[in-house]
Amino acid sequence: MAQMNFLTSNQMATEPPVWVDRTMRGIIFGGGALVLGLLVWAHLGLGALIHPPTPTALQQTAQAGPYAITFQSPRQLTARNANTAAFTLHGATGAALRDAQVHVTFEMVDMPMTTPEVEATRQSDGSYIAHPLFAMAGTWHMTAYVAVAGQPPQSATFTVSVRWS
C-alpha cells in the first residue's frame, strides 16, 4: 500500500513567501496613492492644464430686457490672477446707459463652484469695470445684473473660458 502524506494543521498555517507579502503591500500602497492622486487631480481641476477649455470670444453681447450688455476683456481670463471685465450698456434706443448699477456673479459650469460677487465700477467713458478672481480654470457662467433707477433689474449671462496662467 502506498503511504499518503497528510499535512498537519501547523504545516498549513505557514506564512506565505516574503515576495508575496511585499507584492501585496505594493499593490495596496500603489492603489491608495493612485486614488489619492486622482482625487487631488479632480479637486484642483488640473485636467485643464492638459486639455484647457476652448477659448471664448473676448467680446460678447447679450440682451437683458430692453438693454444690450456687451462684455469685453482685453485678454483671456485666467485663474488665480486679477482679470478685467468691462461692460457697456445700451438702452432700447441705442444710447449708452451711464447711471446704472452693475454687479456680476460667477458660477463654474463643470462643478458647483462660485466666486464672490463683484460690483462693477462706472468709468468716465460710460463703461463698467469688474475685476473677478477665479479659483480654477474651466468654463464659467458670468451673469451681469443691471439696475437702473425706476426700472426692474435685468440680467444677462455670458459663458467664458478661464485658463490656468
What does 80-149 look like in DSSP terms, one character per residue?
TS---EEEEEE-TTSPBP-S-EEEEEEEESSSS-EEEEEEEEE-TTS-EEE---BSS-EEEEEEEEEE-T
pLDDT digits (tens, 9 = 90+) for 99-116: 899 999 999 998 888 888
pLDDT digits (tens, 9 = 90+) for 36-63: 988 877 766 677 677 777 888 999 999 9
Q: Is the entire prediction scored with pTM above 0.75?
A: no
